[in-house]
Structure 1
Amino acid sequence: MEITIKLLAVAILIVLTAFFVASEFAIVKVRKTRMEARAAEGDKKAKKALKLINNLDYYLSACQLGITITALGLGWLGEPTLDVLLHPLIDQFNLPSGLTHTISFAIAFFIITFLHVVLGELAPKTIAIQKSEVITLLLARPLIWYSKMMYPLIFLLNGSANVLVRLFGLQTAKESDEVHSEDELRHILTQSYQKGEINRSEYTYVDRIFEFDNRTAKEIMIPRTEMEVLDINDSIKTIIREMRTNRYTRYPVVDDDKDHVLGIIHMKEFFYEDVEKQGSLEPFIRPALKVFENVPIHDLLVKMKKARTHMAVLMDEYGGTAGIVTVEDILEEIVGEIRDEFDHEEEREIKRLKNGHFLLEGKTSIQDINEFFDVNLDHNDIDTISGWIYTRDYDAREGTVITSDQLQFKVVDMEDGQIKKVEVWEAT
Structure 2
Amino acid sequence: METTIKLLAVALLIILTAFFVASEFAIVKVRRSKLESKADAGDKNSRVALKLVDNLDDYLSACQLGITITALGLGWLGEPTLDHLLKPLIGEAGLPAAISHTISFAIAFSIITFLHVVLGELAPKTVAIQKAERITLLVSRPLIFFHKIMYPFIYVLNGSANALVRLFGIATARESGEVHSEEELRYILNQSFKQGEINRSEYKYVDRIFEFDNRMAKEIMVPRTEMAVLDTNDSMKNNIRIMKQNRYTRYPVIDGDKDNILGVIHMKEFFYDDIEKMGLLKPYIKPVVRVFENIAIQELLVRLQKERTHLAILIDEYGGTSGLVTIEDILEEIVGEIRDEYDHEEEREIKTLKNGHYLIDGKTSIQDINDYFNVEFENNEVDTISGWIYTRDIDAKEGTIVEENGIHFKIVDMHVGTIRKIEAWQ
Give the shorter-chain TM-score range. Answer: over 0.9
The corresponding residue for 2:285 is: 285
Q: What is the correspondence of 1:236-385 to structure 2 with a 5 Å cutoff? A: 236-385=236-385
Cα separation, 2, equivalents of 1:352 and 1:173? 51
3-state SS of 1:46 partner: helix
The corresponding residue for 2:27 is: 27
The corresponding residue for 2:215 is: 215
- The superposition leaves residues 203-244 of structure 1 with CA deviations (integer Å, 9 ceiling, x where unpaired) of 011111111110001000000000010001222222222211
Aligned residue identity for 1:204: K
Query: Are positions 1:42 and 2:58 aligned together?
Result: no
3-state SS of 2:173 partner: coil
**8 Å contact kept, 1:192–1:198:** yes
Q: What is the correspondence of 1:121-160 to structure 2 with a 5 Å cutoff? A: 121-160=121-160
Paired residues, what number? 426
TM-score, with structure 2 as normaliser: 0.98
Cα separation, 2, equivalents of 1:90 and 1:285? 103
Query: Are positions 1:92 and 2:77 aligned together?
Result: no
RMSD, matched Cα: 1.0
- The superposition leaves residues 31-82 of structure 1 with CA deviations (integer Å, 9 ceiling, x where unpaired) of 1111111111111111111101111111111111111111111111111111
**8 Å contact kept, 1:32–1:50:** yes
3-state SS of 2:174 partner: coil
Cα separation, 1, equivalents of 2:13 and 2:84? 19
How far apart are 1:19 and its partner, in Å?
0.6
Cα separation, 1, equivalents of 2:127 and 2:276? 78
Aligned residue identity for 2:302: V
Aligned residue identity for 1:80: P
Cα separation, 1, equivalents of 2:163 and 2:375? 50
Q: What is the correspondence of 1:82-231 to structure 2 with a 5 Å cutoff? A: 82-231=82-231
Aligned residue identity for 1:132: A
How far apart are 1:374 and its partner, in Å?
1.2
How far apart are 1:299 and its partner, in Å?
0.4
3-state SS of 1:375 partner: coil
Q: What is the correspondence of 1:46-85 to structure 2 with a 5 Å cutoff? A: 46-85=46-85
Aligned residue identity for 1:388: W
The corresponding residue for 2:408 is: 408
Could you tell which deviates more after superposition, 342-351 or 107-116? 342-351
Cα separation, 2, equivalents of 1:299 and 1:222? 18
The corresponding residue for 1:16 is: 16
Q: Runs of 5+ in structure 1 lacking a partner? A: none
> Between the two proteins, what is the percent identity of the paired residues?
71
**8 Å contact kept, 1:375–1:406:** no
How far apart are 1:163 and its partner, in Å?
1.1
- The superposition leaves residues 217-274 of structure 1 with CA deviations (integer Å, 9 ceiling, x where unpaired) of 1000000000010001222222222211221111000000000000000111111112
How far apart are 1:278 and its partner, in Å?
3.2
Cα separation, 2, equivalents of 1:246 and 1:175? 58
**8 Å contact kept, 1:224–1:258:** yes
Could you tell which deviates more after superposition, 335-344 or 224-233? 335-344
Aligned residue identity for 1:169: G
**8 Å contact kept, 1:35–1:46:** yes
3-state SS of 1:258 partner: coil
How far apart are 1:279 and its partner, in Å?
2.9
- The superposition leaves residues 342-396 of structure 1 with CA deviations (integer Å, 9 ceiling, x where unpaired) of 1122222212222211111111111111111111112222111111111111111
How far apart are 1:277 and its partner, in Å?
4.2
3-state SS of 2:259 partner: strand
Cα separation, 2, equivalents of 1:16 and 1:288? 70
How far apart are 1:276 and its partner, in Å?
3.2
Cα separation, 2, equivalents of 1:133 and 1:17? 19
- The superposition leaves residues 71-122 of structure 1 with CA deviations (integer Å, 9 ceiling, x where unpaired) of 1111111111111111111121121111111111111111111111111111
3-state SS of 1:79 partner: helix
Q: Runs of 5+ in structure 2 lacking a partner? A: none
Cα separation, 2, equivalents of 1:346 and 1:27? 52
Cα separation, 2, equivalents of 1:94 and 1:346? 95
Cα separation, 2, equivalents of 1:352 and 1:89? 79
The corresponding residue for 2:233 is: 233
Cα separation, 2, equivalents of 1:161 and 1:34? 31
3-state SS of 1:95 partner: coil
